[in-house]
Amino acid sequence: MNLGLNFSLVISVRKFICNLDDCPEDNMPYCKNCGAEYSEGARFCPKCGAPVAGYEREEWKGPRDECFGERRGKRDYLGLVSFGIFLLIVGYIFFTNPWIPSDFFIWIENLGKGVFKPSIGLINVFALFLALIGVSNFIIAGIRVALRQPWRRPLSGTLTGVGLLLFAYFVNLYGQDLLTWQVALVLGIVVIGVLVIVYGVIVSYIKRR
């Protein structure tokens, strides 16, 4: 006679001797493997460790998976494409404007003299750089949509592109003396805040649908 049969016999004798109404603890479920009692909602038997009846082992999900959804099985190589585009933009900027390093060092020297505004050439190049990075974000977001990837990345890429284009516009206005650098910086911060709010609202709305 095995251990499980012995426990089953003991349980049957207890139920025969004890009135169930007077012994509410006997209403507790029993392990099919060893016959030990376990509390409701338990996943494993506290005595032998066997999974209880009706419990199916679930695949473990990490904190990131719980917050952002399950991870995709394939790696995302579009991040490398985005980095490659970034390097191409940097190379294009320096190739078409070889004077950038000399003007940059001159601006660093002028900072010690109390002249904080860089040359108009540096300002325009910086605005162009931000604009090109913003456009590249739109391109990557479009590719993600075409590949039917999760919508969060195309959304964040699109909003980031909008923010970069607006910031490039503010830098251009600063170069034309239409804005001070303080105002341009504040406007850039406001744009970032608004875009973060828009992203949060869109995500909350879609998740509740």
Question: pLDDT tens digit string along 68-95?
Answer: 454 555 677 888 888 999 999 999 999 9
Number of separate domains in the chain: 2
Pairs from 9-16 (Cβ < 8 Å, separation ≥ 24): 10/35, 11/35
Tell me, yes or no, whether 65 lies in a domain.
no
Token pair recorded at residue 68: 């952002």
If pLDDT is split at 50, 70 and 90, which confidence band does 48 have? confident
Tell me, yes or no, whether 130 lies in a domain.
yes
Q: Name which of 151, 153, 173 is nearest 161 in CA terms.
A: 153
If pLDDT is split at 50, 70 and 90, which confidence band does 15 have? low
Q: Are residues 111 and 191 in the same domain?
A: yes
Tell me, yes or no, whether 63 lies in a domain.
no
Q: Are residues 53 and 78 in the same domain?
A: no
Tell me, yes or no, whether 197 lies in a domain.
yes
Q: Are residues 98 and 181 in the same domain?
A: yes
Q: What is the pLDDT of residue 85?
A: 93
Q: What is the pLDDT of residue 25?
A: 47
Token pair recorded at residue 57: 């082992």
Q: Are residues 87 and 20 in the same domain?
A: no
Contact 191, 167 (CB under 8 A): yes
Determine the residue type at 48: C
Q: Are residues 189 and 88 in the same domain?
A: yes
Q: Are residues 2 and 96 in the same domain?
A: no
Calpha distance 13→47 (Å, rounded): 20
Q: H helices within 18-175, ranges in order?
A: 63-68, 78-96, 100-112, 120-146, 152-175
Q: Are residues 44 and 147 in the same domain?
A: no
Q: Name which of 49, 9, 19 is nearest 31 in CA terms.
A: 49
Q: What is the pLDDT of residue 66?
A: 47
Calpha distance 31→49 (Å, rounded): 10
Q: Is the pLDDT of residue 97 over 60?
A: yes
Q: What is the pLDDT of residue 64?
A: 53
Q: Name which of 202, 192, 45, 67 is nearest 130 in CA terms.
A: 192
Tell me, yes or no, whether 67 lies in a domain.
no
Q: Are residues 108 and 19 in the same domain?
A: no
Q: Are residues 51 and 135 in the same domain?
A: no
Higher pLDDT, 91 or 46: 91
CA 119 to chain centre: 38
Q: Are residues 176 and 138 in the same domain?
A: yes
Which domain covers residue 94, as residue numbers?
Answer: 73-208
Q: What is the pLDDT of residues 111-126, one digit of tens each?
A: 888 888 898 999 999 9
If pLDDT is split at 50, 70 and 90, which confidence band does 184 have? very high
Q: Are residues 145 and 44 in the same domain?
A: no
- 49, with CB counted inside 10 A (0-12, 13-18, 19+), is exposed
Mean pLDDT computed over every residue of the chain: 80
Tell me, yes or no, whether 64 lies in a domain.
no
